[in-house]
Amino acid sequence: GVLAALVAVLSLALLMTGGVISGEKDGPRAFSRPDTAGGVSLEREWSNRIAAGGAQAAYEEFLHQYAREAPNEQHTYAHRFGSALYESAGLEGVTVCDQHFNLGCYHEFLGLAIQEGGLEVVALLNEACLTKLNANALGCQHGIGHGVQAYLGYGEKELVAALEVCDGLHAQPRVGGCLGGAFMEYNLQTVLGTEGTYR
């Protein structure tokens, strides 16, 4: 049941972080993008390419351009692309991102979408994941979990609330999808970028 799924996801999250979930932090933290040198100009560059050739073509070009970077750099750049995608395409861009670069595009895109639209857009995003991606919806739903947790904050009560939101989404994988994303965001705070702290 749900309890077994939660235990499995928690175990996965702990394995990924090598740590233990600690007590409540100072309360919810504001959403912020990963801060890297040239980040704003990078977002502007990809926004221009999305406008010129379309979101899907720009994403394929992006993946090719950063294919040889270190994994952590790829992930950060993918966050930047996700930001440009959301700013350029809005919610319609939800199916452009994929699993490349450790889901960084999804993390940023869905984090921004939920930050701006609130929990009211979560069901809409989930339906888009399922309708357009079918069997490939796992990464998209995982990103939703990250976005929900970042939106609600990083205390233990906020984790429980995020898990309840995820549990209310139908047709999602129990491990790795929205629940896995919420646990991962709670532990790693990836959406906060350089402002995040590991638990």
- Output the DSSP codes for 41-101: HHHHHHHHHHHHH-HHHHHHHHHHHTTTS-HHHHHHHHHHHHHHHHHHHGGGGGGT--SGG
Confidence of residue 73 (pLDDT cuts 50, 70, 90): very high
Lowest mean pLDDT among 14-23, 135-144, 149-158: 14-23
Residue 51: per-residue pLDDT: 96
Say whether pLDDT at 1 is over 50. no
Say whether pLDDT at 86 is over 80. yes
Task: Read off the pLDDT of residues 20-69 as tens digits, 9 standing for 90 and up.
Answer: 333 333 333 334 444 444 667 899 999 999 999 999 999 999 999 999 99
Measured distance between the N- and C-terminal CA atoms of the chain, rounded to whole angstroms: 27
Mean pLDDT of the chain: 81
Say whether pLDDT at 94 is over 80. yes
Q: Which pTM does this prediction carry?
A: 0.77
Which residues have CB under 8 Å from 11's CB, separation 6+? none
Closest CA to 106 of 138, 130, 134, 151: 138
Number of alpha carbons in the 13 Å side-chain half-sphere of residue 67: 6
Confidence of residue 70 (pLDDT cuts 50, 70, 90): very high
Residue 26: per-residue pLDDT: 39
Residue 64: per-residue pLDDT: 97
CA 183 to chain centre: 12
Residue 37, SS3 per DSSP: coil
